[in-house]
Every structure is written in structure tokens, then in C-alpha cells.
Structure 1
Amino acid sequence: MTMHLQAQGSPIVLRMAQESDLDAYLAFLHDEETGRLTGSQQTFTRDQIEAWLRKIGTPSEERVDLLIVLEETGELLGEVVLNEMDAANRSANIRIAIQGTQHRGRGFGTEAMRLMLRHGFDALGLHRIHLGVYAFNPRAIHVYEKLGFKREGVQRDVLYQDGAYHDLILMAILEDEFRALYGEA
């Protein structure tokens, strides 16, 4: 099964990873600003990334990893992931990363999140989708609030980066909140 998500008229497509994505995905992971905004403190070898792409390119009941690409050119913009799936409670975590300043602020992340939220609520039958966002990322917080996420709490001083500790804001959206904003599929 191959997964391909796109809204009518959208310039982006969400699709599963392919082996041919290796070089673009490596560049994505090595984007300094993306790493800073996501709090990533790991480095990965080419072999590790190649194995990871094979893993996420195969459908799983535990997670949904989709790459965000421009439909017209196939250029990799980032990824959006549903993970920490909890079938008993019908909940999951969502995370997103967009690489390169030239791709940020253009609505790609908002559209990718909306597509993945719709997939989570409609196709996977989730009731609650949650995330964590660092307090130093007001642009992302604004996007999540615009999508309907509500703040639920704060984990204080959870990340040490650039010589300072940073809070993690916890947010979530429920299926009825999503449907009130975006209707049924």
C-alpha cells in the first residue's frame, strides 16, 4: 500500500518515503534551522538514514511518516508524522518539520498539518491528536492555534539549547474541534 494525500488545488503532496529520497532527506536532516526549531540534538549517518527511509517507506500500524513534497517539482519540503499511536484511547502525537527558510511562511506546513489531521481523524479514527512545541517558536504556535489546537500545559525547561533552557508547550485538538472547523471529509 502506498499512501498519497493531497487536497484539491494544493501545491503539496504528502507521500511515503522512497529510496530515491535519500540525498534530499539527508539535506533536510542537516538543515540547522530545522534542527534548532525541533530541538533535535542528534546526528545521523547516511547508512542510518537509508535504513530509516526503508522503515518509514513501509506502512505501519504504529506510525504514519509522510514526506511533504511540491507536486510540481517533487522537491522535498519536510515531513509530517503521526506517532505514539494509542489505539485504546484513539490518540496520537503529531510532529512536522519544514526545511529551509525559503519554504517557511508559505502555508506548506499549515496545509500538510491539515491533511495529516484529516487522515488521522477520518482514516485512522483518532479522537485526539497532540503535540509539543518549543516556546521560542511563535510562528509554529500561531499555525497550530490557527488549525484549532488548544494549549493544555507547559513542560518547563525541557530543552537545553544555545546556552539556555526552553519550555515545551503542550497542545491538542479533538476530532469534534477539527470537524467544527473543517467539516466532514
Structure 2
Amino acid sequence: MKTETKMPVHFLKGNKVYLRPLDIDDSEIYFQMVYNTETRRLTGTQKSYTREQISSYIENKAGDSSSVLLLIALKETNEVIGDIALQDIDTINRSSHIRIAIDAEQNQGKGYGSEAITLMLEYGFGILNLHRIELEVFSFNNRAEHVYEKLGFKKEGIQRDRLYYDHQYHDAILMSMLEDEFRAMKKQMK
């Protein structure tokens, strides 16, 4: 009897990465990503979660129309390297919040995150018909701030002492992109 291998769904495809939905089989991968020390620091994650809580979170996301949570995987190997989400989708004001986490240091600085964000922006502005996508980055994450600016996000302000982490307070930098800015940037790239 032949066993079928489950092929990953390529929901949004780029050159180096693709974005795919999570399913309950991804609970262990997601659980391990939540406990990566550097990812926790960069995202300001302070809570701890059990495997059961992670499984429940993934199950609940399937029916949540206010967010789109996807895993980032390498096209070449199908290895999951992080996750990305559009959260707090507001269909009346056509806005959302984006967040991303690339799990391991060896996958950072290779353009994977930039490509994943671009794919998600394309989806948010082009399919979900959003007008504004915002994010926050902590002041100690200079590399991410630089990447977001390079992608076209504009600084809007600073929330002083927004995060208490590792015995000290850190500012959060608010950034956003509007649909016409994204479309103008895409035109320049062609």
C-alpha cells in the first residue's frame, strides 16, 4: 500500500520563500519557534505557553477573520523558518497590523523576511483591499527598522518605554504604509 506524502500548500509564492497556512500538525514547530530566545527578545514576547495552548491557538486561528497567520518556508527545502501575520484586520477602516518573526539567526539577513513582508503586503493591499498596514519595532532592533524603511514603511512616532524586557524599558517605533505608497513602490521596481 502506497502512503501519500502531504505536500505543503504554497499560499503566497516568492522567489526564495513561500507562505503557507498553519494546521494542527504545525503545533510542535510553532511551539519551538515561540521559545527561541532571540525571537522572544526581538518580538517582546514575555508570556510562556504550553503545547496545548499553542495547539488551541492554531485551531482558533482557522476561524478568526480578523487575522491571517502564515508560516514562512524556504522554497528549496520546505523548511519552516518563521511566521508572519496580518492582525487586527479592520474591514471598515481598511487597516491592519503586520508582524513577522524569522526563527534562526542563520536565516536572517538573507532577504527572506523582506520577501515574506512584500508577499503579505501584496496580499493585504491587493486581495484584502486594505488601505493602511502598520507595525511596531522596538528601538533596540535597528536591523528590522532599517529593513522596514527600505521596504517603504514610514515612521509615525515613538511610544516611550513601551516594553519592559530584561530589566529595562525600551521604546516602540510606530511605522506604517498606505496602499498608494505600496503601489508607487511596486511601479518603480518594474
TM-score tier (shorter)? over 0.9
Of 24, 34, 45, which aligns to 1:40?
45
Residue equivalent to 1:155: 159
Distance 1:83 1:108 in 2: 20
Distance 2:178 2:103 in 1: 28
Of 28, 38, 63, which aligns to 2:33?
28
- Alpha-carbon shift at residue 59 of structure 1 (Å): 5.5
Q: In the alignment, does 2:95 pair up with 1:91?
A: yes
CA contact (8 A) 2:31 2:54 kept: yes
Distance 2:78 2:46 in 1: 28
Of 79-88 and 146-155, the range deviating more from structure 2: 79-88
Instruction: Give 1 or 2 for the bigger CA radius of gyration.
Output: 2
Q: Which runs of 5+ in 1 are unaligned?
A: none
CA contact (8 A) 1:25 1:76 kept: no
Q: Which runs of 5+ in 2 are unaligned?
A: 1-8
State how 1:48-63 maps to structure 2 within 5 Å: 48-56=53-61, 58=62, 60-63=64-67
The TM-score normalised by the length of structure 2 is: 0.90
List per-residue Cα deviations over 1:149-172 (Å, max 9, x = no partner): 000000000111122110000000
List per-residue Cα deviations over 1:17-68 (Å, max 9, x = no partner): 0222122111111100000000000111010111112223x26421111110
Distance 2:87 2:127 in 1: 15
Distance 2:95 2:155 in 1: 16
Residue equivalent to 1:120: 124
Q: How many residues align?
A: 180
The TM-score normalised by the length of structure 1 is: 0.93
Is the partner of 1:125 in helix, strand or coil? coil
Q: In the alignment, does 2:106 pair up with 1:106?
A: no
Is the partner of 1:102 in helix, strand or coil? helix
Residue equivalent to 1:5: 12
Amino acid at match of 2:92: A
- Alpha-carbon shift at residue 3 of structure 1 (Å): 7.1
- How large is the Cα RMSD of the aligned pairs? 1.5
